[in-house]
Structure 1
Amino acid sequence: MFTDAEAAALYDQLNPWDPDRWPGDAFYDGLVAAAPSVLDVGCGTGQMLHRARERGHTGRLAGIDPDRASLARARRRTDVEWVEGTAEQSAWDAEFDLATMTGHAFQCLVTDQEVTASLAAVRTALRPGGRFVFETRHPRARAWEAWNPANASELTTATGRSLRVEHHVESVTGDVVTFTETTAEAGRVVRTDRASLRFLDVPALGAFLTAAGLQVEAHYGDWHRGPITPDSREIVTVARRP
């Protein structure tokens, strides 16, 4: 078997937070460093907030995530607030200058109700003038077309296990893509996870944000704050609570 704890450790290995290497990480690092108080929604294993503390952030840092195994890794640092749950289950009220959702976590909000409730909770958690920053994959880029066994990853974990990780798209229904991630060892499947992600375009994102009482400050097409173009793979959104 491949446990939840091992899966969380593997996530960190496959997705290390490295602003020197990844422009997206650098983009968020700059925002976090400049904000006196930060809420990371869908914080996962907490890598972004860990790095903020390591780099000397002295303000309030909080992360929330429903995955216990990921939070167990996040809680290796005790100088950050860690909460198990989802945004809509939170009770923060006008407490943060910045809220983030990194790693395309916003796309895990699949239904209209999930999007609406989560945005309402984020708005409530922000102070007036506070910003909510997140990224989603641009649906026009059709990223899911690369999620297939031909693009599998071969790696050795920190504990010495040799694994193959591959993806398979099961369905594309409207703006929702459902796929599986299969982890195999020596040709034997040890874990299969299924997930659905929603690919919202710019008008749909704007409509949800406006309905939640958040003002769209900017939509960027890349991590260098360039405009959205037909070739953009990302939609990086900055919204503000009035």
Structure 2
Amino acid sequence: MADLLFSDSYLAAVYDLWHPRAVRDDFDFYLPRIMQADAVLDVGCGTGMMLAEARDAGHEGRLCGLDPGAGMIALARRRADVEWIESDLPGAGFDREFELAVMTGHAFQTLVSDEGIDETLASLHRALVPGGCFAFETRNPAVRAWENWHPRNATEIAGPNGGAVRIETRITVPFDGNTLGFVHDFTGEDDALPLASESRLRFLDMEALAARLFRAGFSADEVYGDWDGSKLLPTSPEIIVIAVAS
């Protein structure tokens, strides 16, 4: 079940305003790789901004966006020149169809169970041609980014209808060494508000990631700690992996 942030059409529109292209350093990292691959799968594609940008930049091959969030996919489908599928990855049934799969926006962390991670990695391996790449990121748990997820760090944006939207994040289930739970509270001037979206995320370190990738038939060929391509350090905010399918 997708979080309300992704399934609700109003909150899906808020998402892109909250995370505009100008601050998406992950796009700058992934797009050159997308442009070099003939067939690309974006798992957890959201409103489709990244694949739309790739098409606008001249990508002429297959671009497929996959997301279980109805609100997100509805917005993505405004672009008819990209293939959009409302589904989770195991349900899509891809078979050796893509040279590259990407999973951005920390979507990998929504796989909270061991079984969910392993099933998704197995489905990714089936979706890729031999030698294909899976590129994704997860927050480095050593940095404990969630300690800043507090209402005092709320942000305010102009919403889809022009009115102010205030977004507060609060932890509801403390980190237990694997996962934590939190809520985004959306308040403001729009008639659709207030709304609250509950979520849960998984945090894995590089050692655990590498082990699960290996069992699924991947090798972690490239690992970075930030979007500038710097190496992974204990203080790096991200764990960015380019994994190759055997």
Counterpart for residue 230 of structure 2: 226
Deviation at 1:231, TM superposition (A): 1.4
Q: Which piece of structure 1 moves more, 64-73 or 156-165?
A: 156-165
> Could you say which residue in structure 1 is the equivalent of 2:217?
213
Aligned 8 A contact 2:181 2:201 in 1:
yes
Match of 1:9 in 2: 13
Query: Counterpart of 1:4 in structure 2: which amino acid?
Result: D
Instruction: Give distance in 2, aligned partners of 1:200 and 1:209.
Output: 12
Aligned to 1:45: 47
Identity %: 43
Which deviates more, 220-229 or 176-185? 220-229
CA RMSD of aligned residues (A): 1.7
Measured in 2, the distance between the counterparts of 1:17 and 1:130 equals: 27
- Aligned counterpart, 1:58: 60
How far 1:17 sits from its partner (Å)? Answer: 2.8
TM-score (norm 1): 0.94
Match of 1:197 in 2: 201
**Pairwise mapping of residues 89-104 of structure 1 onto structure 2 (< 5 A)?**
89-104=91-106
Render the CA deviation track for 1:141-164: whole Å, top value 9, x for unaligned: 101011101110112213122221
> Runs of 5+ in structure 1 lacking a partner?
none
Deviation at 1:52, TM superposition (A): 0.6
Q: Which of 78, 90, 93 in structure 1 is aligned with 2:80? A: 78
What are the Cα deviations for residues 104-154 of structure 1, in whole angstroms up to 9, with x where unaligned?
A: 000000000110000000010000110000000000110101110111011
SS at match of 1:237: strand
Letter in 1 for 2:180: V
Q: How high is the TM-score relative to the length of structure 2? A: 0.93
How far the C-alpha of 1:223 sits from its partner, in A, is 1.5
The answer on whether the counterparts of 2:138 and 2:238 sit within 8 Å (CA) in structure 1 is yes
Residue 177 of structure 1 corresponds to 180
Q: Of residues 21, 30, 33 in structure 1, which corresponds to 2:32? A: 30
Contact 2:67 2:85 in 1 (8 A): yes
> Which of 105, 108, 123 is the aligned partner of 1:106?
108
Q: Which ranges in structure 2 are unaligned for 5 or more consecutive residues?
A: none
